Amino acid sequence: MSPAEAQEVRNVLLHNDPTYRELADRHHQLDDKLHQFTARHYLTDSEQVEEVTLKKLKLALKDQMERIAREYAQAHSRAS
Beta carbons of 7 and 27 less than 8 angstroms apart: no
Cβ contacts of 35 within 8 Å, gap of 6 or more: none
pLDDT at 80: 55
CA distance 56 to 74: 27
pLDDT at 8: 93
pLDDT at 79: 60
The number of domains in the chain is 1
Q: Which residues in the chain come in under a pLDDT of 50?
A: none
User: Structural domain of residue 23, as residue ranges?
Assistant: 3-79
pLDDT at 19: 97
